[in-house]
Structure 1
Amino acid sequence: MAEAVTSVLIKLADILREKVQEVKDVRGQIEQVQNELRLIQALLRDIDSKCNRNNVVTEWLNQVRDIANRIATVIDTFRVKIEENRAESSNWLVRQFKTAKRNYKTYKRGLHDELEDIIEQLDWLYRRRTDLRIEDLGDDVDDPEACDDVDDPEVVGLEDDQGKIIEQLKDSTISRRTVLSILGTGGLGKTTLAQKVYNSHKLEGQFDCRAWQSISQTYNVNDLLREILYSVKPHMKNKNPPITNRDLPVKLKNFLRGKRYLIILDDVWDIDLWGKLKMALPDLYNVSRVIITTRSLDVAKAADCNTKPYVPRYLTDAESLALLFRNAFQQHVQPENYPAHLLDVAKRLIKKCGGLPLALIVLGGILARRDPNYTAWNMLDETIDWHDKDGIQCSQVLARSYEDLPRYLKDCFLYFACFPEDYKISGWRVTRMWMAEGFVLKDGTGTIEDRAEKCLEELLQRCLIQVTKKSWNGYCKYCSVHDLLRDLAIRKAKDEKFFTVFSKEEDVNNLAASKPCRAALQFCTPKENDIYSENTHSLLCFGRISSHDSGFGLLNYIGFGLLRVLTMESIDMTTFTRRQWSKGLIHLRYLGLRECKIPHDIFKQFSFPNLETIDLNESEVDSDEKTLDLCDVVIPTLRHVSGSGCYEIHLPLKWNKHTNLQTIMDVDIHIESVVELGFCINLRTFGIFIVDDLDNERAIKEWQNLKSVLKNTVQLVYLSIKTTGFLPFGGTKELPCHEKIQKLVLWGEWERNICVPSVEMFPRNLTKLKLAFSKLQEDPMPILERLQSLRILCLCYNSYVGTELICSTGGFPNLEKLELRWVHNLHYWDIKEGAMPILGHLQINYCKKLHVLPELQKVRTLQELTVSRPSLELWEGMQMQGKDVHKIKHIPCVRIREYYPQ
């Protein structure tokens, strides 16, 4: 909450720096608002360190959030009015009729009254702190009933994990004291796994002494050291006089000197804990070990950055059923003895738990108190609520992870409540929404985009969200939220009046009456016309997938005057009328139109002066020209434009007027407009689709124009050039961004005089390379395998039209993933011994003339092989007893998908 007020204070400071008459007129009031907010900010910082808040205090916090949003809106509107007043005052005809002066005087009177009302409300909120006894809130204390993990020594599915950890503990080749962290979300079974390892007979005789210590969030270092000492040397507990705090570290260190020890530190939250304990735990290179269980990757890294944390997996469906039945019947039940009449409903119930052991144990405990019949279990399936008294234990465990977050990360986490269940959440998209909302403040280093990505990474490190797909640079491309954590986010968002989710048609018609600060309409549309909410700052509309839902046309978007974020998905926007669609949302910062049908003139007379992001992913223009009418559009604040996947949309922005752009992703452009892009000197991601069909000679000429553009983009890390003709590309060696480019995508036929590209053409630090339609006639591997930093290589769609590929010894030293797709003429591939020494993932898709696999047994690091639509001969060779089986039997995961018919 304090961060929300901080962002408003920054806005106030910015507006006060404006040396214009309009600001002078209200400077005193703005400064008064600023002073009142600073008092509340100091109070909020104290409140954020407490946790035992009652409902009255929660409501007070919601009112603070509302007033902060109101002030931000007033300031944003004021800034726009200043610009309008200047523009009107410079117009001779307007001055003649004195309309500019009259319009501004009317606005100023309203602004004066609104600021006075804000000052009065801020003063009232601050004075209410005494009545509500906010300053007397107690510190956060641990709830003894809220256990942090699974307290069940017989949780199924941990045997493999236990064996791997024990093997790691006993590894005598690593003699130094290592700290192994077991990392994962609450309820995943970290503590149970640590207990199974600690008590395993396989460690008998391995260690001279052991100690187990549970760590509370409010711990005392001396108490911890004392308990560890008493565990390894019990008779010290009765020592008289007792050991002083000053002597504790020395006594413990002296006793452990020369002994091989195992110490478990369970449920560590504080990143500084290990630094406070390690001096008392000597490292004598005698294979001593420490295990930490934690929810935070930062804690794990701080303890031992050279030992990879162990992350227990979620349970499979079979393991989930076993655990559910064992807890429901309080005994082991073999699969063949599962009650047939309960099996279907049990399968539905385990889906709600998502493989989380704690949830399954809690659910099994509930079932144990019910009759074992279908009616009782089915009723629970329909009514289970993890937040009622039955599920309170699970809820408390998950809630602790949320309460431990700083306020700005709480807002970022709650934002995941707006996305539908099992939704594919784009990391790029959600971070841009956070920026638009003002959750992310620049911290003095890097850009605000860098700061937003750090927030996403921190949520990942705290195990509140999971990566489902990484991008080429290792960042989170797509992520997901465990169902129970999503339920937690929805509940907290509702309690704090942060987000309101509408998922039933009858609810949407109440949107205006409920006045939500943020609203998500998930697969539901209003039945009434002209619905709007002038209090709403964010509106996210999710239509039916691939059906282009038209029902959202009933909303009156002009009535959402305070929107900062507006996103549409799978919606037919051709049904929108001019009465419903706003020409100017002055507060809008993020506009997302994904998988939508868009009328070509939807942005006619576009006037969104604060817009930062336009996302047109997978959308289409409903006109023959496929061109959006943007001829007169200038948005100086614009930073990101993405048209990924919508190659038929032409976006004719005045690129030379948008110098703040950092992202241009897969935007169609005519070749004559390329030169305008030279003004976009802040580009970090640059991807264009050249709609002109260039011949060989024209492509060579146009590359010179593109080079003049790229000479100014010194921060560029991603470059993509796509065309249906010859490719205007001749290498980045001469460009200032040559060292910084890490991803390169090239679609189009290479110039005739370039049979095989030279290694000098490619950026030296290139991490990912994707080639398509290149029609290279000579084997490119001898060149590409010399790219020392290359981790991902994709050869697609006739990028190579020759018949043989040869990977040399020592080639591709850092390649981790290789994709061959639609390389139609390839019939022979040779991999020499020592080539691709760390390759882990290989895809061979639609290579219909490849009849025999290369010698993949030489690539011992392969973890995953996917072969899609192979030739019949190759398909047969990979079957049991086939001629290629010996080449792939060392690969843990092999997928073969239907062969080409002959």
Structure 2
Amino acid sequence: MVDAVVQVFLEKLLKALSEESHILSEFRDQFEKLQSQLVLMQSFLKDAVRLKSKKETLRTIMVDLRELIFEAEDILADCQLLSRDKDLFSTGWLMCIYPTKLPWQYQTGKRLKEIHEKIITNKQDIATYLGVSILNQPEPVYGCNDLSQNWSSPVYDHTQVVGLEDDKRKIKDWLFGADDGILKIGVVGMGGLGKTTVAQEVFNDREIEGRFERRMWVSVSQTFTEEQIMRSMLRNLGDASVGDDRTELLRKINQYLQGKRYLIVLDDVWGHDFAWWYRISEGLPKGNGSSVIITSRNEEVVQKMGVYEERIHRPKFLSKANSWLLFRKIAFAARGGECPELEDIGKEIVDKCKGLPLAIKVVGGMMLYKLPRYHEWKRILDHFRDELKENDDSERGLMASLQLSYDELPPNLKSCFLCFSLFPEDCVISKEQLVYWWIGEGFVPLRSNRSTTEAGEDCFSGLTNRCLIEVVDKTYNGTISTCAIHDMVRDLVLKISDDDAFFRKDGIGCRHLGIKSDLDPKLLIANRKLRALLSTTKTGEVNKIASRTAKALCQSRYLRVLDISKSIFETSLSGILNHICSLQHLTYLSLSNTHPLVQLPSSLEKLSNLQIMDVSYCQNLKTLPSYIVTFKKLKVLDVSHCGSLECLPKGLGRLSNLEVLLGFRPARSDQSEGCRIGELINLTKLRSLELQITRADEIGDNEVNALVNLQELQYLSMSCFDSNSDGSDLITKVDKLFPPQQLHELCLQYYPGKMSPKWLNPISLPMLRSLSISSGDIAEFHPSFWGDDNIVWKIEALMLESLSDLGVEWSSLQQVMPSLRIVTVSWCPELESFSVEDFGYKGGVWKKE
């Protein structure tokens, strides 16, 4: 990933050199020389990266180059920090970095000169090894054949599958024929063949949902425990069960399933000791047609778990026709699925995938981002052939396709992709956590005309569209919220991460580590290179951090990212937070769901570099300190789901770079030190806002225009829960609080009025594409909601939930929303003549086919 390291450093350096910095100006000449050398090197660095895995000498040179660039980046960060905070000269902070008597400026200049000279030598060695001239090199070509500029969302439907109709029908027939005992079905085949996809298609089928009263999906990792399996089953049944022992867990499972027809999917089972399964299956209720589906790469596994031969399904490789169909649905998605001029060479590329769905999807995702030019596609085919010269079997073809897709990633996406190495097998990962991490560490390309969070979402879409990560959960309108990676993809990520010291399982010498309960504090103390420490727990789990580990979290001076969410600490949390202030380079701090966080200490005021601060789900947090408003670089502030937090500090409107503000509660008229809603008018870069209004006096008569001029705002969630009165005053105020016209998505919750707000209409919100209304008293829509003959809604996704009084005609809604594609309706008993005949049911929602 040296090309990725170079690009990140060059972007940071370009930004730094554009700033008026007294300290940085002392070393401007050295930094500009570094910049010049690295820009020249970019033109042939991609080839060097591709070949280094095969050439040990080249690999050694690249490792040395990577470490030099990281060191230069740390020096640059120190210069920027000292330019902003001259007090650090007198506090002894510099002596901790350079503990000698020589002046800091002298040492820095000397070291930059040495780095520059070594990089020149590296450049010459790499060029000689590749047989290229270092004279008259062209400008870097990264991105010239990459079509990712404006793809902030999936380009194609990630739920589509090809060639599995017969597989699905066969397993469904078995399930419908189940009677006594527990039917056991096995799905067996090599990695990437589509075992999990077949099981998911069956599990999410509407007829299957109707047949089984309880359904449980359990991902079985290679390092599972019996308790983890049972807790996962219970989470599927809505029970967290944190403290129960094995016997109690099994008793609860039995109790939930007693008298019910249930379906359990055990996905990707390994190992040879199945005592855990015998104990669990013995404790399960029998009969009623209950069934278990087991997927595994090993046929012996499903046999030992009790699956009879006649109930083992072995998915086949895709036919040539289906292989081509799947490939072109992805590779030509931006062109309607067709590109006749590339069909012949495209089929040659597909043939190398040997009918493996995972390989076809990944290669198709890679080609989606290539210009439709024959010579570019021929280059990919030639690389494929080179990888398969020795052995052209299916598994080697799969790994070659994965490696090729990684090699062809833009440099910044390589860094983003390797972040998945920190997460345990079968972990469901939050998109939000990933994007914030990428922003915090500088992996997101800096563009003057684009918001940082939007650019981060583009990076995420770049990986999903390339099929390198899999979609797990989506919101009602199709926005991806969580993801995972295939275990074969994870094998590749772990190998590359280990080679490039991005992440290593032993934690030695790498720059990124996952925080978990058994983390050895010695790894933190010994490794001063760390850039990121993140909580990587699975869903429903928490980290229990020992005192020694907690004290070691702040040992790495150049830490950019610290995420200690979902953690319980043996030692005082306030003591740990006081130590965090020493992390002067920190850009992303997440304390989400930490226990028990009551207040933030004054020492955190020193974290002037913070761009992202997340204290969501901290139910005991009572106040936010006033110094938050001095964090001028802050782009994201998340205080959502903090039940004890009454309001935010006055002066929040000074955070002019804020792009995401979640959980905002306006101060009441009697809260003089709190932030009023009128301050939002100054947050002109705001893209996402979650607003919680509980009383009418939180909106002054002169503050009703607080939102209407926020021209960058795309997402607005407005919760209007009023527990103190009949809500009439609040309704009046909210009706005047017009959102901006360019709003893209609106979520309205707990609205207390019987009639919807008058601004909820297609004239006031002409750009609205997604609308969610839930848990309120709305019985009818304002007359303006229905538009007129010439103006109708452009809404594509609609969710109506828990609206017990809503009595409008469904046909009227469809008429005024002709672009509607996705519909989610639940607990709306008065919604008249509700019908979804024009929609197909998939994944729990109705979608227009």
Residue 613 in structure 1 maps to residue 612 in structure 2? yes
**Selected match of 2:654 from 657, 676, 684:** 657
Residues 571/198 of structure 1: CA separation in 2 closer, same or farther (3 Å cut): closer
Residue 548 of structure 1: how far off its partner (Å): 4.1
- After TM superposition, list the pairs within 5 Å mapping 1:96-495 onto structure 2: 109-128=103-122, 135-136=129-130, 158=163, 160=165, 193-195=318-320, 265-268=346-349, 295-297=363-365, 299=367, 394-443=398-447, 445-471=449-475, 475-495=479-499
SS of the aligned residue for 1:682 comes to coil
Residue 74 in structure 1 maps to residue 75 in structure 2? yes
Residue 84 of structure 1: how far off its partner (Å): 1.9
**C-alpha distance in structure 2 between counterparts of 1:122 and 1:758, whole Å:** 60
Q: Which amino acid aligns with 1:136?
A: L
**C-alpha distance in structure 2 between counterparts of 1:535 and 1:442, whole Å:** 24
Partner of 1:792: 797
Residues 523/767 of structure 1: CA separation in 2 closer, same or farther (3 Å cut): farther
CA contact (8 A) 2:752 2:776 kept: yes
- After TM superposition, list the pairs within 5 Å mapping 1:76-91 onto structure 2: 76-85=77-86
**Selected match of 1:677 from 677, 680, 688:** 680
Partner of 2:520: 526
User: Normalized against structure 1, the TM-score is what?
Assistant: 0.59
Residue 163 of structure 1: how far off its partner (Å): 14
Query: Deviation string for 1:719-771 (max 9, x for gaps)?
Result: 12223214467678996x63310211223344578798763685122222222
CA contact (8 A) 2:30 2:116 kept: no
**C-alpha distance in structure 1 between counterparts of 2:732 and 2:433, whole Å:** 30
Cα RMSD, aligned residues only: 4.9
Query: Deviation string for 1:69-103 (max 9, x for gaps)?
Result: 22222222212212222x699xxxx9xx99999x9
Partner of 2:588: 590
Residues 437/88 of structure 1: CA separation in 2 closer, same or farther (3 Å cut): closer
CA contact (8 A) 2:822 2:847 kept: no
Residues 30/409 of structure 1: CA separation in 2 closer, same or farther (3 Å cut): closer
SS of the aligned residue for 1:477 comes to strand
**Selected match of 1:516 from 495, 505, 510:** 510
Residues 39/300 of structure 1: CA separation in 2 closer, same or farther (3 Å cut): closer
SS of the aligned residue for 1:660 comes to coil
**Selected match of 2:713 from 713, 716, 722:** 716
**Selected match of 1:604 from 589, 598, 602:** 602
Partner of 2:158: none
**C-alpha distance in structure 2 between counterparts of 1:739 and 1:781, whole Å:** 19
Farther off after superposition, 680-689 or 665-674: 665-674
**C-alpha distance in structure 2 between counterparts of 1:445 and 1:559, whole Å:** 37
Partner of 1:639: 635
Query: Deviation string for 1:781-829 (max 9, x for gaps)?
Result: 99469852222333334x4535675533734322333334444xx3x54
Q: Which amino acid aligns with 2:413?
A: L
CA contact (8 A) 2:647 2:664 kept: yes
Farther off after superposition, 14-23 or 742-751: 14-23
Residue 8 in structure 1 maps to residue 9 in structure 2? yes
Residue 643 of structure 1: how far off its partner (Å): 3.1
Query: Deviation string for 1:575-617 (max 9, x for gaps)?
Result: 3353673224221111223332242333423221211112234
Farther off after superposition, 27-36 or 190-199: 190-199
- After TM superposition, list the pairs within 5 Å mapping 1:851-866 onto structure 2: 854=834, 856=835, 859-864=837-842
Residues 728/567 of structure 1: CA separation in 2 closer, same or farther (3 Å cut): farther
- After TM superposition, list the pairs within 5 Å mapping 1:873-884 onto structure 2: none
Residue 538 of structure 1: how far off its partner (Å): 0.8
Residue 448 of structure 1: how far off its partner (Å): 3.6
SS of the aligned residue for 2:706 comes to helix
CA contact (8 A) 2:751 2:775 kept: yes
**C-alpha distance in structure 1 between counterparts of 2:811 and 2:367, whole Å:** 42
Aligned residues: 619
**C-alpha distance in structure 2 between counterparts of 1:98 and 1:817, whole Å:** 59
**C-alpha distance in structure 2 between counterparts of 1:193 and 1:865, whole Å:** 23
**C-alpha distance in structure 1 between counterparts of 2:168 and 2:128, whole Å:** 50
Residue 759 in structure 1 maps to residue 761 in structure 2? yes
Partner of 1:173: none
Partner of 1:370: none
Residue 540 of structure 1: how far off its partner (Å): 1.2
Q: Which amino acid aligns with 1:521?
A: I
Residues 500/651 of structure 1: CA separation in 2 closer, same or farther (3 Å cut): farther
Residue 558 in structure 1 maps to residue 554 in structure 2? yes
SS of the aligned residue for 1:665 comes to strand
**C-alpha distance in structure 2 between counterparts of 1:13 and 1:779, whole Å:** 52
Residue 658 of structure 1: how far off its partner (Å): 0.7
**C-alpha distance in structure 1 between counterparts of 2:528 and 2:498, whole Å:** 19
Partner of 1:837: none
Residues 449/515 of structure 1: CA separation in 2 closer, same or farther (3 Å cut): same
CA contact (8 A) 1:427 1:477 kept: yes
Residue 403 of structure 1: how far off its partner (Å): 2.2
Residue 497 of structure 1: how far off its partner (Å): 1.0
Farther off after superposition, 106-115 or 583-592: 106-115
Residue 562 of structure 1: how far off its partner (Å): 0.7
Farther off after superposition, 534-543 or 780-789: 780-789
CA contact (8 A) 1:542 1:570 kept: no
Q: Which amino acid aligns with 1:396?
A: A
Partner of 1:374: none
SS of the aligned residue for 1:587 comes to coil
**C-alpha distance in structure 2 between counterparts of 1:129 and 1:646, whole Å:** 52
Residues 452/267 of structure 1: CA separation in 2 closer, same or farther (3 Å cut): farther
User: Normalized against structure 2, the TM-score is what?
Assistant: 0.62
Residue 408 of structure 1: how far off its partner (Å): 2.3
CA contact (8 A) 2:708 2:741 kept: no
Percent of pairs with identical residues: 20
SS of the aligned residue for 1:479 comes to strand
CA contact (8 A) 1:570 1:594 kept: yes
Farther off after superposition, 59-68 or 744-753: 744-753
* Structure 2 gap segments, 5+ residues each: 133-160, 170-190, 196-314, 332-339, 351-359, 373-390, 670-674
Partner of 1:246: none
Residues 199/443 of structure 1: CA separation in 2 closer, same or farther (3 Å cut): closer
CA contact (8 A) 1:558 1:581 kept: yes
CA contact (8 A) 1:747 1:773 kept: yes
Residues 732/446 of structure 1: CA separation in 2 closer, same or farther (3 Å cut): farther
Partner of 1:666: 663
CA contact (8 A) 1:689 1:722 kept: yes
Q: Which amino acid aligns with 1:708?
A: N
- After TM superposition, list the pairs within 5 Å mapping 1:751-830 onto structure 2: 759=761, 763-778=765-780, 783=785, 788-797=793-802, 799-801=803-805, 806-808=810-812, 810-823=815-828, 826=829, 828-830=830-832
SS of the aligned residue for 2:483 comes to strand
CA contact (8 A) 1:779 1:806 kept: no
Farther off after superposition, 467-476 or 603-612: 467-476
**C-alpha distance in structure 2 between counterparts of 1:18 and 1:199, whole Å:** 51
Residues 108/26 of structure 1: CA separation in 2 closer, same or farther (3 Å cut): farther
**C-alpha distance in structure 2 between counterparts of 1:302 and 1:403, whole Å:** 13
Residue 6 of structure 1: how far off its partner (Å): 3.6
**C-alpha distance in structure 1 between counterparts of 2:92 and 2:367, whole Å:** 65
SS of the aligned residue for 1:405 comes to coil
SS of the aligned residue for 1:467 comes to strand
CA contact (8 A) 2:757 2:782 kept: no
Determine which structure has greater relative contact order: mean sequence separation of CA pairs < 8 Å that are 6+ residues apart, divided by chain length. 2
Query: Deviation string for 1:212-270 (max 9, x for gaps)?
Result: x99xx9xxxxxxxxxx9xxxxxxxxxxxxxxxxxxxx9xx9xxxxxxxxx96832549x
